[in-house]
Structure 1
Amino acid sequence: MSSLPAMTSSLATRLRVLILGGTAEANRLAQVVAKDPRIYAVLSYAGRTENPAKPPIAWRVGGFGGIDGLKHYLMAENIARVVDATHPFAAQMSSHAIAACAAANVPLLALERPPWQAVAGDRWIEVDDIGAAAAALGAAPRRVFLGIGRQHLAAFAPHPQHAYLVRLVDPPRAPLPLRDAEMVVARGPFDRAGERAMLTKFCADMIVAKNAGGNQVSAKIDVARELALPVIMIRRPFVPARQKVETVDEVLHWLGHDAAPAERGV
């Protein structure tokens, strides 16, 4: 699936930018650069979410075919800059972007959310990966909210003594790999009132979450603190060193196209 206009002479004079998306920050960047006639940007979705919102710039869905495929795309499309605004847990895509940009000699900048930090009242059990999170639930039966998406649910199948609540963006195409599971299909953002109602109705006594980060802590983490629920917090995966910033304005400065005041209010 794609929406890529044919290259014209007018496009040739614009800065050609590839945005690796999948986050609210990527969408925000797309909204801003769409109003800048000096930039021609393409937003790339990984394709894990069905029917993504159509951005105001050219876009594509799906992988590139590994490092070599991404390198070929960058060269074929005359991409001058790449902004990696993928999810902090999309480590493979980020690593591929580092290698492909180096091979194609294309500058790369990561737009990366700062990780969440535990504060007073949080009951975090920090682990390194999904397998460790499943093991950390323990032997005693628990009622667990899995705030991890659909990709890694199978890791919890060997722990059938627990009851799970799973929230997904899209309805699953196959049965969940969990013996005792309830499912909620919904798209964020989610507020505290809704998270509290959901967790209370399920009688959750533990939460499993990825440290997705952001300037505002997730509502489910706030509610876990309020309800004194333990949170198994999965640390971010390793990504090789790269230049990174935390705000859209910093990306625009790097592109050499700082936003005008009207654009900052988008």
Structure 2
Amino acid sequence: MIWIIGGTSDANRLAERIRSEGHRVLISTTTAYGSQLAALQNFEIMEQQLSESDMEQLLTDTAISVVVDASHPFAELVSTQAMAVCARMKRPYLRFEREQVQIAGAHYYPDYDELIETLKQTSGNILLTIGSKNVHRFCPELLDRIVARVLPVSKSLDECQAAGLLAHQLIAMKGRMRVETNRALMEEYLITQLVCKESGEAGGLLEKCQAAQELGIAAHIISRPRLHYPLVFSDPEALVQQLNETLKVLRT
């Protein structure tokens, strides 16, 4: 069986491609939303926040042959843990990483602290499109200026409300949006500063930044964590080819 660390649209597309090769696939996610997306394609799903010991147990109990890590570019902890477990248990580990997209004119930051210090020197409303987990970092200093676009699930809304955001500061919408939709939201909420993660094309980065550029809004982007993967692919076909070659070696 192939274990795909998922929770993203990339993971689901990759799982479908791997299944088409005749391989049995298990997708793990950490959220109900991720599980719902995977369930639409009838994959075997495990919804659980896995510790390293959980991962070791999974590899043993489920007879996993190869681990394919297609988690979000910012899921640093799960990737680090999976690499460590695979190294200890001598299981092949393949990383699928979204291609990076460089946005001309955008400001890039290695961490939230530097970004927040920069935002303190600006004025106007700030649109956060970084998910809900890190919204609290911007509070209370920037609280009154924040509008957060998050997934329409209770956990995301609860995290934002715990950080102090009120209902009028929340936009609950799923998925990648068209440029026109992003532009309309920025105009409606009088946004002057856009904050994104370096999530790549699949994360809607291009559409958000294009809308900001058209409106003269400054774009601020948190750079991806830099991890040292043993094998990393941005081309799904190249990963599938490597997977098949790896499985052939394991069977000999």
TM-score, structure 1 normalization: 0.82
Cα deviation, 1:234-263, whole Å, max 9, x if unaligned, reads 011132332110122122111218xxxxxx
Contact 1:190 1:219 survives alignment (8 Å): yes
Corresponding residue for residue 89 of structure 1? 74
Indicate the residue corresponding to 2:248 in structure 1.
Answer: none
- Cα distance in 2 for residues equivalent to 1:109 and 1:48: 25
**Any unmatched runs of 5+ in structure 1?**
1-15, 258-266
Residue in 2 that maps onto 1:251: 239
Cα contact 2:123–2:192 (8 A) shared by 1: no
1:60 to 38, 43, 46: 46
List aligned pairs for 1:42-191, cutoff 5 A: 42-47=26-31, 49=33, 52-53=36-37, 54=39, 55-65=41-51, 67-119=52-104, 122=105, 124-160=106-142, 162-169=144-151, 170-171=153-154, 172-173=157-158, 175-178=161-164, 182-191=169-178
Q: How many residues align?
A: 237
Whole-Å separation in 2 of the counterparts to 1:50 and 1:25: 11
Shift of 1:210: 0.6
Match for residue 194 of structure 1 among 181, 187, 197: 181
Cα–Cα, structure 1 residues 50 and 254, in superposed 2: closer, same or farther, change >3 Å? closer
> In the aligned structure 1, how far is the partner of 2:123 from the partner of 2:35?
36
RMSD after superposition = 2.1
Structure 1 window deviating more from structure 2 (131-140 vs 77-86): it is 131-140
C-alpha deviation, 1:133, in angstroms:
2.0
**2-side partners of 1:140 and 1:195: how far apart?**
21
**Superposed CA offset, 1:67-88 (max 9, x none):** 2321221122111111100000
| 3-state SS in 2 of match to 1:83 | strand
TM-superposed deviation, 1:162: 4.4
CA deviation string 1:103-160 (max 9, x = no partner)? 11110111101222123xx2x2211122322222024542000010000011011313
Deviations 1:39-77 (A, max 9, x none): 111011122747632132211111222x23212211221
1:5-34, CA deviations, whole angstroms, 9 ceiling, x for partnerless residues?
A: xxxxxxxxxxx1000012211010122233
SS in 1 for 2:169: strand
Which structure's residues are more often helix, by fraction? 2
Q: Is 2:21 aligned against 1:21? A: no
* 1:219 paired residue among 177, 195, 207: 207
Q: What amino acid is the match of 2:164? A: L
Q: What is the percent sequence identity of the aligned residues?
A: 22
For 1:197, what is the secondary structure of its paired residue?
helix
> C-alpha offsets along residues 153-179 of structure 1, whole Å, 9 cap, x if unaligned?
110113136411111112423624135
Alignment-mate amino acid for residue 190 of structure 2: C
TM-score (norm: length of structure 2):
0.86
Greater Cα offset, 198-207 or 232-241 = 232-241
- Aligned partner of 2:219: which letter? V
Give distance in 2, aligned partners of 1:223 and 1:80: 44
